[in-house]
Amino acid sequence: MIGRRAVGWLGAAVVLTLVFAAYLRPDVVITLAQQLWNCF
Amino acid sequence: MSAAVPATPSTPDRQQLSMTQVLLCGAFIVTLSMGIRHGFGLWLQPITMDRGWSRETFAFAIAVQNLAWGLAGPFAGALADRWGAWRVLIIGAVLYAAGLVLMGLATSGLAFTGSAGIVLGLAQSGTTYAVIYGVIGRNVAADKRSWAMGMTAAAGSFGQFLMVPVENWLIGGLGWQGALFVLGCLALAIVPLAFGLKEPAAQPAQHGEQGIVAAVREAFGNPSFQLLTAGYFVCGFQVVFIGVHMPSYLKDHGLTPDVATTALALIGLFNVIGTYAAGVLGSHLPKRLVLAAIYGLRAVAIALFINLPLTPWSVYIFASTMGLLWLSTIPPTNALVAQIFGVKYLSMLSGFVFVSHQLGSFLGAWLGGKLYDSTGSYDVVWWIAIALGVFAAIVHLPIREHAIHRAVPA
């Protein structure tokens, strides 16, 4: 049970890190900086 | 003869759907519905350039969308409570797809406002938190409700975080129109997921049972509901003011665009963590205290941010802190509505609270620009955001969390 939960948390951390890394790609940085920053 | 019964039994009358099914379907639906809309700002430049419109035309449609989303929320919620969330979700998904396609085809400002503004606003009212939370409320035991709402809200936050780079990639690969058509197809994925939230239809109110009008009267006459609604206004104001105006604020202070983009990513990342954590905390602590802490911490974070020297690292720390507090108000606010008033009209009552949030959102976006134009800086609006944070922290303290007792014929 603890092992499955740890794998779940680890998987979530990996996915979040990958998405975060996508924001730091130069093309995304440039596009976002040029656009309306509409967070909600 | 009458007897008083609590509005919220400790467990649902009937466990109609499994918790796993509700969570999975609900989480995927809000991931899509919150995610798709979150990247609309990316279309500003390509659409206005291609169509020859002003930025105001685009911004007006998005403002209308936010208002339509808020104002339609109670009606979508009432329909979901009465005829089943799954029906409302299907209609919402079809409207979402139609709105995105029409947004791509619109060649006049009026048509754009109708599609991107009104149709998409209506679609969002039928596919976002209030509708899903009604199903959660009716199918998840009270002691797990806040956690379940936190899990679903975290999925919505993840959708927002995920879809900005995805939509940027789609626009780059397919063009802005093609990207909208793909998103329209994606919105239709809500339809099969909606069947996973299909509950037996609620029966019309029997003699002695509370009807919709009585439920609305009861809620609006209840001081705790009024305080909760007032607090949610502050959430909308702060989040949208910061979201819309912070890049300009950073630019005015000489920071580079990559700082703003990294701050956006940090808000998105920590928002996922914060919304889930708020749901968990709401399961263990009084929800009014969780909400008071969130608003109080927001006020402290903003006060420190504008009074300390502005550097990239101060921006990153502020963005991470605000990310933790960003949509974290959603699970405890909605769980409190369920706890106090019961789950029969939860979607509708959550919709009413959300109207206040959207009015705050509108004011945060508009007042930020208005006061900047008249004073030449954002200082006044930052201080308003701090004062509102303190106000919201205080008004949550006297909220009475226990279920209200209603007199029913014996």
Better-predicted residue by pLDDT, B145 or B207? B145
Q: Mutate one of A14, A17, A35 to test the B interface: name it (highest B CB count within 10 A).
A: A35
Amino acid type, B16: Q
Q: Of B405 and B78, which is predicted with more confidence?
A: B78
pLDDT for residue B238 = 93
A-B Cβ pairs (cutoff 8 Å, strict)? 90
Task: Convert the pLDDT of each residue in B357-401 to its tens digit.
Answer: 999 998 888 888 888 888 888 899 999 999 999 999 999 999 998
Contact B260 A22 (CB under 8 A): no
Tell me which chain A residues have a C-beta less than 8 angstroms from the C-beta of B361.
40
Those residues of chain A whose CB sits closer than 8 Å to some CB in chain B are 16, 19-20, 22-25, 27-40
Ramachandran angles phi, psi of B207, nearest 5°: -55, 125
Which of B43, B128, B161, B329 is best to mutate for the A interface (most A CBs within 10 A)? B161
Would you state the pLDDT for residue B161?
87
Whether residue A23 and residue B45 make contact (CB cut-off 8 A), yes or no, is no
CB-based contacts of B10-16 (< 8 A; 24+ apart in sequence): B10/B141, B10/B142, B10/B143, B11/B141, B11/B142, B12/B138, B12/B139, B12/B140, B12/B141, B12/B343, B15/B139, B16/B138, B16/B139, B16/B199, B16/B200
Which residues of chain B lie closer than 8 angstroms to A30, CB-CB? 257
Mean pLDDT score of chain B: 89
Task: Please tell me the pTM assigned to this model.
Answer: 0.88
pLDDT digits (tens, 9 = 90+) for B193-241: 999 999 876 666 666 677 888 899 999 999 999 999 999 999 999 998 8
Q: Which of B213, B201, B199 is nearest to B136 (CA)?
A: B199
pLDDT digits (tens, 9 = 90+) for B133-142: 999 989 998 8
Alpha-carbon gap: A33 to the closest alpha carbon of chain B (Å): 5
For B323-344, write each residue's pLDDT tens digit. 999 999 999 999 999 999 988 8
Does the pLDDT of residue B184 top 50, yes or no? Answer: yes
Q: Which of B129, B168, B267 to mutate to test the interface with A (most CBs of A within 10 A)?
A: B168
Cβ contact B260–A33 (<8 Å): yes
pLDDT band at B259 (very low <50, low <70, confident <90, very high): confident
Q: Nearest by CB to B239, which of A19, A22, A39?
A: A39
Q: Do A16 and B40 touch (CB under 8 A)?
A: no
pLDDT at A39 over 50: no
Task: Report the chain A residue with the minimal C-alpha distance to residue B58.
Answer: A36
Q: Tell me, what's the pLDDT at B201?
A: 63
**Chain B positions in Cβ-Cβ contact with residue A36 (cut-off 8 Å):** 41, 44, 55, 58-59, 244
Closest CA of chain A from B188, distance in Å? 22
* B62 to A39: CB separation less than 8 angstroms, yes or no: no
Q: Do A19 and B165 touch (CB under 8 A)?
A: yes
